[in-house]
Amino acid sequence: MSWGYRVLIILGIFLVGMISMVVVATRQTNEMIDSDYYEKELAYQKVIDGRKRLKATGEAVMIKTLNNFVEVQLPSAASGNIRSGAIEFLRLSGSKGDRKLDMGTSAAPVYRLPVSMLMKGWYRVRMHWVNNDSAYYHEQNFRVQ
């Protein structure tokens, strides 16, 4: 094989590679988890304080899959008299699978969400609640299988 054919083959491979990269790049979505990130960034000190309060309880938030339910168990020291709050399941691969569970006023430290309401994949679980006039915050990644 002469050097001219080799150059054409290399150029052909290069062009196919570049075209495939353009196709992959145009199919990517660049959406953000939060559309109102600027307002949330300004109020971030509340998140820091909520994390500190939760850490001071010495207990951890437990998230697990149990009997076709995703179960979220709050620490007993931070859940005796919940006045308000929410648990958000934010799908990392797209906002179509996002779910929000309002805590309402409750003394129960366990919240359940049917697995059938969630798509399989990775979620960022964000929780914020007010218990006895103290705000708490927790965030972690969780995989639904």
Q: What is the pLDDT along the chain (145 residues), one digit of tens a residue?
A: 788 899 999 999 999 999 999 999 988 877 766 677 777 777 788 889 999 999 998 988 999 998 889 999 998 888 888 888 899 999 988 888 888 988 877 767 888 889 999 999 999 999 999 988 889 999 999 999 8
Contacts of 70 (CB under 8 A, 6+ apart): 63, 64, 89, 112, 113, 114, 115, 118, 142, 144
Extents of the domains making up the chain: 1-30, 37-144
CB-neighbour burial class of residue 10 (10 A; exposed 0-12, middle 13-18, buried 19+): exposed
CATH for 37-144 (3.40.50.720, 3.50.50.60, 2.60.40.10, 3.30.420.40): 2.60.40.10
Per-residue tokens: 131: 């218990």
What does the pLDDT read at residue 128?
92
What does the pLDDT read at residue 20?
96
If one counts every other C-beta atom within 10 angstroms of the C-beta of residue 54, the result is: 23
C-beta of residue 70 within 8 angstroms of C-beta of residue 144:
yes
Q: What is the CA radius of gyration of the chain?
A: 23
Q: Is the pTM of this model over 0.75?
A: no
What does the pLDDT read at residue 33?
66
Single-letter residue type at 20: S
What does the pLDDT read at residue 107?
67
What does the pLDDT read at residue 63?
93
What does the pLDDT read at residue 123?
93
